[in-house]
Amino acid sequence: MNIKSICCIGAGYVGGPTMAIIAAKCPHIKVTVVDLNEARIAAWNDADVTKIPIYEPGLSDIVAEARGRNLFFSTNVDQAIDEADMIFISVNTPTKTYGIGKGMAADLKYIELCARQIASVSKTDKIVVEKSTLPVRTAEAIKNILQNTGNGVKFQILSNPEFLAEGTAVTDLLNPDRVLIGGDGDAEGQEAVNALEAIYANWISRDRILTTNLWSSELSKLTANAFLAQRVSSINAMSELCEKTGADVNEVARAIGMDSRIGPKFLKASVGFGGSCFQKDILNLVYIAKSYALNEVADYWEQVIIMNDHQKRRFANTIVSTLYNTVSGKKIAFLGWAFKKDTNDTRESAAIYVADYLLNEQAHVAVFDPQVQELQMQSDLNYLATRSEKENASGITVQQDPYEACKDAHAIAVLTEWDEFKSYDWHRIYANMKKPAFIFDGRNLLDGKKMEQIGFVFQAIGKGK
């Protein structure tokens, strides 16, 4: 099948960058990204390409190259579906906040709405690609909706999960470890798999394109995120033991990371993982296991989340206990709000939960992040519904200058590993802080010995005394 037109429903952190790369590498294919959020589409179409809604190094240049040539952003969903040969579904699948499976299961209402809209609009045969992270066997539900329209249109369903790391999404898309495509084993299913494989083959060698059945592909995405999150929680669990025994978690991580069977990646102790995927996908995995009465399996994976939540609470507790068991009326400066560097994504960021804890202790929080805006920070805190919006607005101050954020602070908490933090004039920062001045390095980013020489009382995660 020769694909001439692609539609992607969802202009978020997955859909936008993925379609930009496909458009850049496949100039012979028209790529249209659609979303009902008019403000988001307007931002993708902004004449100043640096104002696109997602910050990823290198992404704005790629969008600038392809936009208006064969890359388009639109709110006209029906037209894009009608014209497309292949439709990617890349909408949000948040954790349910209601009903059966509340707090664990994936909320698939947006997936179902997409399927119903595709079914109602389509007049020609389509390939529908699951790009969103979905529970295993979701494709079955999508098939049932699409194949019972009664209009004679044939649909093939593929699973093509994303394995992007925010902050390196462009690099990950251009040079992925693997591309995974799941499809049916019959002739029509394989034809659809081959059509998607041919698109990726424009820039990715075929030996890195892995094909499986639908269910293996869907489950592989959840499994990959669970394994990565497990490593983070494992090293964070050891960080607490290091603090009690006098070991240094960084030295322990280096020692075990040099074992070729373990490797060094995702072994950096921190205040905890965030982002849109890890927690959501593990909770989904736990729910699936419980639905099959695999309670031991569910308990095993749920412990990864428990450890991550504990690490965030422990970090906040350390700030309070170190500051003489009270932060009431004290200014605590946060360096970083995004859940990791090189992104403006704040979903499940540790900073939100640490700030929430400190605000409950009546601290005043001053924040600097090079990419996250005040409106987003306030929205993150308001979403927790711990306090009123007015209380949140008065409890947190967002600064555009890191030195101003740290001025007159009793302590600094490093909550995102932005590279620029390492190059700040820390002597100047220290001179303008309340004394004794404390640094709580939640990302093991700074050189503790240098900080102590300046005069900070320095505390990093997992370093015993």
Q: How far apart are the C-alpha atoms of 54 and 49, rounded to whole Å?
A: 11
Question: Which of 7, 114, 277, 406 is an active site residue?
Answer: 277
Q: How far apart are the C-alpha atoms of 134 and 305, rounded to whole Å?
A: 19
* 162 catalytic per annotation: yes
Q: How far apart are the C-alpha atoms of 18 and 9, rounded to whole Å?
A: 12
Strands, E, within 56-204: which ranges?
71-74, 86-89, 126-130, 155-159, 179-182
Question: Which of 96, 126, 131, 221 is an active site residue?
Answer: 221
Question: Which of 130, 162, 243, 302 is an active site residue?
Answer: 162
The H or E element containing residue 396 is: strand 396-398
181: alpha, beta or left? (left if phi > 0; alpha if psi -120 to 50): beta
Angle at 331 between CA 330 and CA 336, to 5 degrees: 145
Provide the Cα torsion 17, 18, 20, 21; round to 10°.
120
Q: How far apart are the C-alpha atoms of 82 and 341, rounded to whole Å?
A: 39
* 251 catalytic per annotation: no
Angle at 409 between CA 407 and CA 413, to 5 degrees: 110
* 25 catalytic per annotation: no
- The residue type found at 113 is L
Looking at the annotation, which residues are catalytic?
162, 221, 277
